[in-house]
Structure 1
Amino acid sequence: MVVGIRRAGEGDREDVVRLLDEAFMQDPVSSWVFPGEEHRLRMHAGLMEAFFDLALAEGFVDVTEDGAAAALWWSVPAGVPEGEEDGPALLREAVEPANERVELIGRLTDSVHPTDRAHQYLHLIAVRPGRQGEGLGTALVDAVLERCDREGHHAYLEASNARSRDLYARLGFVFMGTTLDLPDGPRMWPMWREPRGVAGGISG
């Protein structure tokens, strides 16, 4: 099946945020950040909107032509930028200042994020419930990975469940060896992908 993909922009904000909110409402990590369902229903979309803004600022957002799936990527340079603003704290302030988990999830993922090589970071990928299993998510990821292979770029992500971990493994991502276990919460799997044809990699 050929899946049409386009680059999203500011005009897609409402539709993409709605898709992310719907797709991740019951995700283990979202449920950890916002443990109560009523609380999550009120606050979750704000976090997804903040993530959309970050992707536009730090990378790009790809969507399928029919709007049923979207992927948020960050283009991450090598090294730790000097004088960088405190992103996790700013995220908490923007989304929900009283919720320390909004900040903590950023700090924990930052702590395991590779810094030695530039890479494309797949931050989030969402497929509309009812459209899963059609290959839309794989098509979105493949489109970027093909470009990474052509241009010699690395890629990175954190899988938030065992099913997605296994899917990403089939796309060439390798578990880095150490899980990220959220306090009293779910497990995440940091995964790294070398461009095809390039030997080596990162091991945990």
Structure 2
Amino acid sequence: MTGPERAGEGDADRVGVLIADAFWDLDASQWIIGDPADARRIFPEYFTHVVAEVMAAGGVVEWTAQRDAVAVWVPTSAADPEPDPGRWDAVLDKVCGPYADRFRTFEALQRAHHPHGVDHHYLAMLAVHPDRQGRGVGSALIAAHHADLDRDGVGAYLEAAGPRQRRMYERAGYTDHGGPYYLPDGGPPLFPMWREPRAS
């Protein structure tokens, strides 16, 4: 596999579809939108908006030359101010309709468990097309970014979507960061994880 390529603003739609294709069957996705038809209609547009927001804020969206996997990284500074939720609330209402409050709950829990006071890169999403999952594509994609973080002495944070994903991230050097937390109403767990930079 060749090295990762940087996605541009014009790629946001395609990246959003790839993420949606990879995330349909995650327990957290099904907690947010239980109806498969609604999920297939809403998730591509939602993720397209998320990717566009990350790009506009200076985030790093990297994907494979084959366009079968993408990693969305958000450089996070200890000095970053809290975001203004007003405009994003309007996006959620428009794009997600009756599910907007579920998205808000999910995002609020993520923010509540996110580490503060330390510079790091947040792996907001790692998505691999269903036909390519289980072949090491995602691990190889993030390894290149980890090399950059190690060189600069910067840590990384993420939330694993389930036990299988957690094991994959453990192999990449992540450890549990405060234990799992659960989505409300009997929802599934998410596993916060942290990676210390490795000395070269």
Tell me the TM-score normalised to structure 1 length. 0.89
Which runs of structure 2 are paired with 1:121-132 in the superposition (5 Å)?
Answer: 121-132=122-133
Question: After alignment, is 149-158 or 173-182 more displaced?
Answer: 173-182
Shift of 1:97: 4.4
Counterpart amino acid of residue 19 in structure 1: L
Task: Specify the SS of the correspondent of 1:98.
Answer: helix
Q: Which runs of 5+ in 1 are unaligned?
A: 199-204
1:153 is matched with: 154
Tell me what 2:116 maps to.
115
Distance 1:188-1:89 versus aligned 2 partners, 3 A rule? same
How far did residue 132 of structure 1 move? 1.6
2:3 and 2:144 in contact (8 A); partners too = no
SS in 2 for 1:18: helix
Aligned residue type for 2:188: P
Dislocated runs of 4+, deviation >6 Å? none
Amino acid at match of 2:163: A
Cα root mean square deviation, aligned: 1.8
After superposition, residues 131-150 of structure 1 pair within 5 angstroms as 131-150=132-151
Q: Does 1:182 align with 2:162?
A: no
Calculate percent identity across the aligned residue pairs.
Answer: 35
Number of residues paired by the alignment?
196
1:35 Cα deviation from its structure 2 partner: 1.3
- Matched to 1:26, the amino acid is D
The answer for unaligned runs of 5 or more in structure 2 is none
- Conserved 8 A contact 1:3-1:139: no
Deviation of 1:33 (Å) = 0.9
Paired with 1:90 and 1:179, the residues of 2 have a C-alpha distance of 30
Residue identity matched to 1:187: P
Deviations 1:81-118 (A, max 9, x none): 16x30276355234324321111111000000001101
Cross-structure match for 2:34: 35
| CA drift at 1:80 | 5.1
Q: Which residue of 1 aligns with 2:14?
A: 15
Indicate the residue corresponding to 1:68 in structure 2: 68
Amino acid at match of 1:61: V
Q: SS of the residue aligned with 2:168?
A: helix
Aligned to 1:162: 163
Secondary structure of the residue that 1:192 maps to in structure 2?
strand
Matches of 1:168 and 1:54 in 2, distance apart? 25
CA contact (8 A) 2:61 2:70 kept: yes
Which residue of the partner structure matches residue 6 of structure 1?
A: 5
